[in-house]
Structure formats: C-alpha cells, structure tokens
A and B are shown apart, each in its own frame.
Chain A
Amino acid sequence: RKEVEQDPGPFNVPEGATVAFNCTYSNSASQSFFWYRQDCRKEPKLLMSVYSSGNEDGRFTAQLNRASQYISLLIRDSKLSDSATYLCVAPGGRTTDSWGKLQFGAGTQVVVTP
C-alpha cells in the first residue's frame, strides 16, 4: 500500500463551483500535512499546511480526519487559475532515516472550465 493515496481525477469543475477531494495516508503517527499545487511542467508550490483538524485560507479549506486517516481539500468559487494538480504530502516518519522526508501522493488533477 502506498504511503499517500489520491484520486488522480481529473475533476472537471465549472468556474465558480466548489470542488473537494481527499487523500488518505497510512502512517497513523503523522502529525502535519501539506497540500502543494503543481502546474504542468512546473515545480510544486506550497498551498497550505495542515497541522490540526484543519485550516482555511481564502477560498481553500483543508481538513484533517485522524480517525479515518484522510485529509481533504475544498476549493470554493473555483477560478480558471485553480486548474492544476494538487499534491497531498505527508511527513516521512519519525525514524532517523525518514526524518525530514516527505511522502508525495500522485496528485489530483483539477480542471476548471469556463
């Protein structure tokens, strides 16, 4: 089983609509998570950090469900510029070997259409 799993999509979303998608993780000891966005042929860019039950940043809301071991990302009032691949990222673990490392999901593609 992969450390971090995501629905690859694509999620086709009309402009102005709301879209949400989840990511599951296998390491129950993980404390913090991240959502990165990656545009085609570009590097990942940090979107949000998720340290507790969740947090909100403008149109973006991330939630963490520790009992079920998943993180969600919700995008409200979708813009055309939100079209990207969203990467769910979990820490690699607490062992010396994995400290500092990040485990990346394969990404969820979101396509916002006019």
Chain B
Amino acid sequence: GAVVSQHPSRVICKSGTSVKIECRSLDFQATTMFWYRQFPKQSLMLMATSNEGSKATYEQGVEKDKFLINHASLTLSTLTVTSAHPEDSSFYICSAQLTSGRVQFFGPGTRLTVL
C-alpha cells in the first residue's frame, strides 16, 4: 500500500503552547488528506478534510481557529493545535487518499499529551 509518514510520533507540551504535526505522502501525490482524532477505546473521529491549495473543510464541532490546517503541496499537510489544553490530549492521525478511489492510507499517528 501507499506510504504516509507523520511527524512527530509523540509530543508532550505545556498547556497554552502550539503544536504542529506534519503528514506526508511519500510515494504518491494526494490532493486530499484527512485529519482524525482518536480518544482511548473510541473510534476515529474525522476532524477535517484537507484539500491541496484550498481551505480545509472542518467537521461540525471542530474549531477551525484552534486546529489550523495547511495543505500547501500535494505531499504535505500540517495540523497545528493552537493554545493546546489537556483536553486536546489525544491520538491524531492523518490519512491520504488516492485520487483513483476512496481508500485512505494512514500515517502512524501522533500522540499528543498536554500537561
């Protein structure tokens, strides 16, 4: 399958700081990437759809000013968690979608812990 990388894999930060997470498609170009969040023992929850060259589309209840998404190229999307709080601690996973179908390939995830 296609390879998607995510960096960093783990981050611990203080409350009030901002954290940037990068998602890269390594062997294909992805016009669409997705950002998910997963709390313990729960399913993946879609946060936003990131389209290259345009504004991201956020799901209901997700604050666009808090979770900044930039998709500047066909291989890179970034998620910045601004003014992070302990309740933002979660497993953040990105995925990239092949233009030929609906299959999504996931990055390894970033485990964010806000103290």
Contact = CB atoms under 8 A, between A and B. Distances in A.
Provide the main secondary structure of the chain B interface.
strand
Interface residues of A, number: 19
A101 B49 contact: yes
- Which one of B43, B46, B97, B103 has the highest number of Cβ atoms from chain A below 10 Å of its Cβ? B43
Given A43-B107, A100-B102, 16 more contacts: A32-B102, A41-B91, A41-B111, A43-B93, A43-B106, A45-B1, A46-B105, A91-B102, A100-B32, A100-B49, A101-B34, A102-B102, A102-B104, A104-B43, A104-B44, A105-B43
Interface of A: 32, 34, 41-46, 49, 87, 91, 97, 100-102, 104-107
7 contacts: A32-B101, A34-B102, A43-B106, A45-B106, A101-B49, A102-B46, A106-B42
